[in-house]
Chain A
Amino acid sequence: MHDAQFLQIVLVMGITLLFTSVSYSIFITYMILKKFSDLGDSSCKLNEYAPKGLSYTRMVDNVPTNEKYFLLADYGVDPYLDKKHSIPEVLLRNAEKDQEEEF
Chain B
Amino acid sequence: MAVLCKNCAGKLIFNPASQKLECSTCGSSFRPEDVEDVYASKSAKYYDTRVYVCSHCGAEVITSDTEASTFCVYCGNPAIVFSRISREYRPDGLIPFKITKEQAISNITKKFLNNPIVPKEVAGKCRPENIRGIYVPYWVINAKFTEADFLSGVVKRGKSSETRYYSRACETQLRNVPIDGSRILNDDTSLKLEPFYLEDSKDFDEDYLNGFYSNTSDLRFFDLRESAAKRCHKLVSEEVIKSIPSNARDVKIRDTIYWVDIEDDPIYMMMPVWFFTFKYKGKPYTILVNGQTGKVVGTLPWQSKRIVAIAGSLFIAITALVSFLFMAWMHNINNLFVFAVAILITGGMAIFTKVITGLKKIYRNLRLTQSEGIFNFVKKRQV
A and B interact physically: yes
Given contacts A26-B352, A38-B362, contact A71 B255 (CB under 8 A): yes
Instruction: Determine if A40 and B195 form an interchain contact, defined as CB atoms under 8 angstroms apart.
Output: no
Instruction: Determine if B318 and A91 form an interchain contact, defined as CB atoms under 8 angstroms apart.
Output: no
Given contacts A20-B318, A39-B111, A71-B167, contact A53 B239 (CB under 8 A): yes
Of the A-B pairs whose beta carbons lie under 8 Å apart in the complex, a sample of 6, sorted by A's number, is: A27-B352, A30-B355, A49-B176, A54-B170, A71-B169, A94-B220
The closest CB in chain A to the CB of B177 belongs to A49
Q: Given the complex of chains A and B, what is the CA–CA distance between A20 and B342 in angstroms?
A: 11
Instruction: Determine if A56 and B243 form an interchain contact, defined as CB atoms under 8 angstroms apart.
Output: yes
Instruction: Determine if A25 and B314 form an interchain contact, defined as CB atoms under 8 angstroms apart.
Output: yes
Q: State how many angstroms separate the Cβ of A7 from the closest Cβ of chain B.
A: 13
Residues of A close to B344: CB separation below 8 A:
16, 19-20
Q: Given the complex of chains A and B, what is the CA–CA distance between A40 and B289 in angstroms?
A: 10
Contact with A along B244-262 (1 / 0, CB 8 A): 1100000000110101111
Given contacts A12-B341, A21-B319, A30-B359, contact A63 B167 (CB under 8 A): yes
Residues of B within 8 A of A (CB): 45, 89, 111, 115-118, 144, 146, 148-150, 164-177, 191-195, 216-222, 224, 234-236, 238-240, 243-245, 254-255, 257, 259-266, 268, 287, 295-302, 307, 310-312, 314-315, 317-319, 322-323, 326, 333, 341, 344-345, 347-349, 351-352, 354-355, 358-359, 361-362, 365-366
Residues of A close to B315: CB separation below 8 A:
21-22, 25
Instruction: Determine if B150 and A67 form an interchain contact, defined as CB atoms under 8 angstroms apart.
Output: yes
Instruction: Determine if A42 and B167 form an interchain contact, defined as CB atoms under 8 angstroms apart.
Output: no
Q: How large is the interface on A (under 10, 10 to 19, 20 to 34, 35 or more residues)?
A: 35 or more
Q: Given the complex of chains A and B, what is the CA–CA distance between A67 and B217 in angstroms?
A: 42
- Indicate which residue in A28, A34, A50, A80 contacts B260 across the interface (CB closer than 8 Å): A80
Instruction: Determine if A50 and B174 form an interchain contact, defined as CB atoms under 8 angstroms apart.
Output: yes
Instruction: Determine if B355 and A91 form an interchain contact, defined as CB atoms under 8 angstroms apart.
Output: no
Residues of A close to B168: CB separation below 8 A:
56, 58-59
Q: Given the complex of chains A and B, what is the CA–CA distance between A41 and B192 in angstroms?
A: 5
Instruction: Determine if A85 and B118 form an interchain contact, defined as CB atoms under 8 angstroms apart.
Output: no
Given contacts A20-B345, A94-B220, contact A46 B236 (CB under 8 A): yes
Leading 7 A-B pairs by shortest Cβ distance:
A80-B261, A40-B297, A75-B148, A23-B348, A25-B314, A58-B169, A68-B150
Residues of A close to B298: CB separation below 8 A:
39-40
Given A18-B319, A79-B259, A88-B266; 14 other pairs, CB 8 A cutoff: A16-B322, A17-B322, A20-B322, A20-B345, A44-B235, A45-B235, A57-B169, A62-B165, A65-B165, A68-B150, A80-B259, A85-B261, A86-B264, A88-B268
Q: Given the complex of chains A and B, what is the CA–CA distance between A43 and B299 in angstroms?
A: 17
Residues of A close to B265: CB separation below 8 A:
86, 88
- Indicate which residue in A26, A37, A71, A98 contacts B118 across the interface (CB closer than 8 Å): A37
Contact with B along A59-103 (1 / 0, CB 8 A): 111111101100110111011100101111111111100100000
Instruction: Determine if A32 and B310 form an interchain contact, defined as CB atoms under 8 angstroms apart.
Output: yes
The closest CB in chain B to the CB of A98 belongs to B220
Residues of B close to A34: CB separation below 8 A:
358, 362
Instruction: Determine if B300 and A36 form an interchain contact, defined as CB atoms under 8 angstroms apart.
Output: yes
